[in-house]
Amino acid sequence: MTRNLNQQETAAALGVHRSTVGLWVKRGCPHDNVGRGNLFNPEELRQWASSNGLGTQGGDRTMGIATSPEAKYWRDKRKEALMRKDRAKADRAEMELAAMKGGLISTVEVKAANAAKLQRVEDVLLPGISALAASLTGDCESDEISLRDWTYDRLTELSQDEDASKIEGTT
């Protein structure tokens, strides 16, 4: 016959926190009230745990790991969250390293470069639109050719600006 264990000994034997054993008592696990504490029969507790979805995988030290599908779902969710957290830490460390090596551009610089590009697009396209509109004749074929040529010329001008800035290293 095995000796009964107090709450602290039971928690240590099962590899769970003492408060977990207290929760089991509230859920109805077999125990004896003795004075101000409880005593637990390990064999009765093992049977109770098995019938209430608590596993005994690998002996007493792992008893207390819930094996119900819901418990497994939440354990898996927690593992996923921890993996995401670890991935985020690794990504942050990688970015900090790139920043230290000078491999990152600040958002202020990116916004300024994009604003300059948009301004250049406006400068090239907007003034020519009114001139293009005035040159349209009403002949669909001729107007389509004019529009195509005008668009090609403006886009060529903008792409040459982009090529020049790449050569200068400003983008």
* pLDDT per position as a tens digit, 23-47: 888 888 899 988 888 999 877 887 8
Distance (Å, whole) CA 57 – CA 65: 8
- The residues spanned by each domain of the chain are 5-62, 69-104, 107-168
Quick one: CA torsion of 149, 155, 160, 163, rounded to 10 degrees? -150
Distance (Å, whole) CA 45 – CA 13: 12
Distance (Å, whole) CA 22 – CA 8: 10
Mean pLDDT across the stretch 15-28? 83
DSSP 40: E
Would you say residue 69 has pLDDT above 50?
yes
pLDDT at 164: 65
Closest residue by Cα to residue 4 from 54, 13, 24: 13
Would you say residue 163 has pLDDT above 60?
yes
Query: pLDDT tens digits, residue range 143-161?
Result: 899 889 988 998 998 888 7
Would you say residue 61 has pLDDT above 50?
no
Would you say residue 103 has pLDDT above 60?
yes
Q: Which of 55-59, 78-82, 143-147 is the least confident region?
A: 55-59
Distance (Å, whole) CA 54 – CA 66: 4
